[in-house]
Amino acid sequence: MANLRQKVAFVTGSSRGIGAAIAACFAEHGAKVALHGRDQTALSRVRAAIEAPDGMVMQVIGDVTKFDEVERMRREIEIGLGPIDVLVANAGGNQTNPKLALEEIPEEGFRGSIENNLIATFLTLKSVLPSMKQRKTGSIITVSSAAARRPHPASPLAYAASKAGIEFLTQHVAAQVGPFNVRINCIAPEAILTERNQHQIPEAQKASMIDAHPLKRLGTPEDIAQAALFLASESSSWISGVILDVAGGSVLVR
């Protein structure tokens, strides 16, 4: 059984969607959870929903594309909960229109996607890894996307490129930190029915997307949370450097 009892988990981008589901799952399995985002109200709602009477949940606010802010948040977590045992580098997002050809993508949009995904993941790892290596323990989960697993003209190019960078970063770091008993793996979700997607995707499009998946349904944030729980726990103690497609069977060949 996956068990995170008394482990300190830091989940970036956890004010809603996949990050919030991962934080809730970790708290349910005994972790002390540090929520992160930029929306204080949204974070407070997540905290109220997952904090058990005997549990410990805190929230930190900051920009993960700025190293000084990541460092500040890490120190706040260490004071409030203790050293970080589990890191989920989930914060990120798409900054460009998926319909644009390369030459049409604004430079600021491409740079924004790289900053919000790849650079944010790099800086979060840069802040948290030294303590894990010193203590010779830790599990890190990065978050990529099916967009990085298979080139497709409908995928936002800058987003896909930034997520592919996260996958290589994950595997390179796994080789570096393995001797310190620190594991790092990556989850690559496909279409996930977050609250936002539930409202934004038309029903006809949902039906078409469902038909494209061998399992004949779209994923939920809880599907990703269960995968993260497995990778965070000792149930996966001999797994590192893996890119795990949580995609309903839609990513079969890279």
159 tagged catalytic: yes
User: The dihedral of CA 123, 16, 141, 94: what is its sign?
Assistant: negative
Q: Is residue 22 part of a domain?
A: yes
What integer is the mean pLDDT of 139-163?
A: 90
Quote the pLDDT of residue 58. Answer: 97
Q: Is residue 2 part of a domain?
A: no
Q: Is residue 171 part of a domain?
A: yes
* Amino acid in position 173: V
18: confidence class by pLDDT, cuts 50, 70, 90: very high
Looking at every residue in the chain, the average pLDDT score rounds to 92
Count of domains observed in the chain: 1
Residue 161 has pLDDT above 90, yes or no: yes
Q: Which of 148, 159, 236, 244 is catalytic?
A: 159
What CATH code is carried by the domain that includes residue 172?
Answer: 3.40.50.720
Q: Is residue 38 part of a domain?
A: yes
Q: How many CB atoms lie within 10 A of CB 26?
A: 29
Q: Is residue 70 part of a domain?
A: yes
Owning domain of residue 123? 8-246
Q: How many CB atoms lie within 10 A of CB 96?
A: 18
Q: What confidence tens digit (pLDDT) does each residue in 46-102 have?
A: 999 998 766 799 999 999 999 999 999 999 999 999 999 999 999 999 888 888 999
What integer is the mean pLDDT of 219-248?
A: 95
Quote the pLDDT of residue 249. Answer: 83
What integer is the mean pLDDT of 199-223?
A: 82
Q: Is residue 253 part of a domain?
A: no
What integer is the mean pLDDT of 12-33?
A: 96
Quote the pLDDT of residue 254. Answer: 47
CA–CA distance from 143 to each of 6, 48, 153, 184, 241 (Å)? Answer: 24, 25, 21, 11, 13
Q: Is residue 150 part of a domain?
A: yes
**Which residues face 33 on adjacent strands?**
9, 57
What integer is the mean pLDDT of 98-110?
A: 92
Q: Is residue 1 part of a domain?
A: no
146 contacts 102 by C-beta, under 8 angstroms: no
Quote the pLDDT of residue 208. Answer: 79
CA 73 to chain centre: 17
Does the pTM of the predicted model rise above 0.85? Answer: yes
Query: In angstroms, rounded to a whole number, what is the distance separating the alpha carbons of residues 86 and 174?
Result: 15
Which H, E and C letters describe the chain, residue by residue?
A: CCCCCCCEEEECCCCCHHHHHHHHHHHHCCCEEEEEECCHHHHHHHHHHHCCCCCCEEEEECCCCCHHHHHHHHHHHHHHCCCCCEEEECCCCCCCCCCCCHHHCCHHHHHHHHHHHHHHHHHHHHHHHHHHHHHCCEEEEEECCHHHCCCCCCCCHHHHHHHHHHHHHHHHHHHHHHHHCEEEEEEEECCECCHHHHHHCCHHHHHHHHHCCCCCCCECHHHHHHHHHHHHCHHHCCCCCCEEEECCCCCCCC
Greater confidence (214 vs 198) lies with 214
1: confidence class by pLDDT, cuts 50, 70, 90: low
Residue 110 has pLDDT above 50, yes or no: yes
